[in-house]
Structure 1
Amino acid sequence: MAKVAAVHQQYLLEYTEVIGINKEQLLKVSNEDNDYNFSLEKGLIDAEQYLLLLSKLNTISNIPNFGYFLGTSLNVRTLGFIAHVQKHAKDFSQAIDILQNYLEHSYAIVDLDVYQESNHLIIKLGASEDLGACQNIVLEAIFNFIIRELKGILPDISFFEKVYIPPSFIPSTLEQLNIPYSFEEINPTIVLSASVLDINLNKKHSVDITSALTGYLALLEKNHSHLGEFSGRVKKMALSMCCPEPPNLDYVASQFFMTKRSFQRKLANEGNTFREIIDAIRQEMSSFLEMSSDLKINDISYLLGYSESSAYLHARNRWNQPIELTKNVEYSELA
């Protein structure tokens, strides 16, 4: 069977911890789990091991469309790949080569078929082998990763002509990005205008994204339990979903399968609100970006999701005291 980079196992374990599943629960799923390797070693692991973990997490969580929610929880990791592509690719063809090479060596259980047909560039996602019950989970998670990656490197969404997804997929990411789509009984297929091959990549925010990624990963490493058990997990989930701007209430509440009212009530029981959590993320990121980079106010406003620089400056004036983060945070590009 194919190999998978061990870091993907780590992402799975991090995600399940945030949604409230621990290793002990995994070990109770079946008697054969006692020998399961939970180590976060570097390098490659057998895909069979990865798929076993994925299957068990899907069973325990009982989350419909587990792949979609897993994929959207990795938005901040997508930033690392976007920054890598923008740094090393001069045009879209090179970007696709990097993406295909990444999947081949890091996530070899999927295939990405890319070809030109008339005035269209077709990108088809499929499984490289039979993945059993995990196939839809894997494809939906990677599909969301690819959509975010393409959106991040292209100048605008006009190059997306149509996206075809299986009826079982959740289209929320496409709807949020205003990308046209339809349901078809085929593997995920992205149709771009062939003119995309003639453009230079969007490097406008490449440096900004690297700075933001470093800050977000620094925050993810921090312990947020002082906020409360649930509030700490919400903050970690929100940080994981930044791309680069922080996510909204609906987006995060959906990860916990709660209505907005129930979600807010549970936060209130710990003395917090979602607005306060997002505001704290923006404050900490603002302090980090202003200390560790030479970004302009417009860039920081963009990264933190403010519609105008004046709104960011108003928020910055409201914050009494900047919260310091470690400047020298190492981050590794996706394996």
Structure 2
Amino acid sequence: MQDYQKRLALNLLAYAVQKNTDLAQLCSLSGVELAELKSESSPGLTTQQINALWLNATELSHDSLFGLHFGESLQVAALGVVGELIRHSRTIGEALTHAAAFSHLITDVLTMEVNRSGQTFTIQFIPATASRNGSPLIFRQMMDFFMAFTLHEADGLILQKIQPTTVRIPIEPINLPEYERVLRCSSIQNATDYVMEFDGRYWDEPILAADYDLQAVLLRKVSVLDEAYSNAKSLRERINNFLLANAYLGVPTLDAIASNLNVSSRSLQRKLQEEGVTYQQLTDSIRKSLALHYLQAGQYPIKEVSCILGYNELSAFNRAFRRWTGTTPVSYQKEHLSGFVVSDS
């Protein structure tokens, strides 16, 4: 995991230099030693260092859309073995499926979901709670980067420019033309989620560099990395990521999550206890994060937010929200959405 983070950080530094950024100043402000970053034996970057790199690169380059432009320029080879696996997939659909399956090896910022339905398919970028709750500027740069990179990485695979039919993304009107250019879409909708929809004809488009024998070798290699990554992560992190990625399905019961992880409910409880947390605490934390996100977005009535989070009664949601924040959902939303009409029904 750390090797991929360092690889991405080195590419970020290289791109920042192309934008006439002083490399020494960028590293100094971010608390990063370039020699250590290049060393294979050095420890990985901390979350604080990674965030500082994104923030300082954006400021020093004087590019408010640094993440978007960085994603447009990066090549899939920068992802190492995961990138090679993508490059040697049979079709665009298969490449995107692999990219989504192993995205957690590249970043903790988000997970990817690829869904095919009828004549279209979509790529959804689901932010991790920690990323969404951090600096809005850093969060936005990272989300822009991964959307632009995912789109442009496909160019070299089939030698044609893939164009989304629709893009959903939180966007400032003043930057709309540049998002339309980089994301190649004139139908960009202002929304709270991050989704690109494509014509289904791209799904089965063959990849020119496909090597099926090599792909099998790469898949085994990436699977070993994935297993090591999964074993290294705590059960708490794995459950947290699962709950966040599947939030649209509601919060599952302890028995349901245990079944998903192929363990007994009693074993799951015991392992979580060893990590100093209960399943109820994890679900409570997820509900709180999602509640704050939905209310800040302002696109859902409070009663609907309550239902999304699995509360049968609005009064139960109100009590839980007051326990989390010391205020009511209505008051909280009014504070964050001045100028908007707020409804609790």
Give the structure-1-normalised TM-score. Answer: 0.49
Point out the structure with the larger helix share: 2
Which structure is larger by alpha-carbon Rg, 1 or 2? 2
If asked which structure has higher relative contact order (CA below 8 Å, sep 6+), I would say 1
User: What is the TM-score normalised by the length of structure 2?
Assistant: 0.47
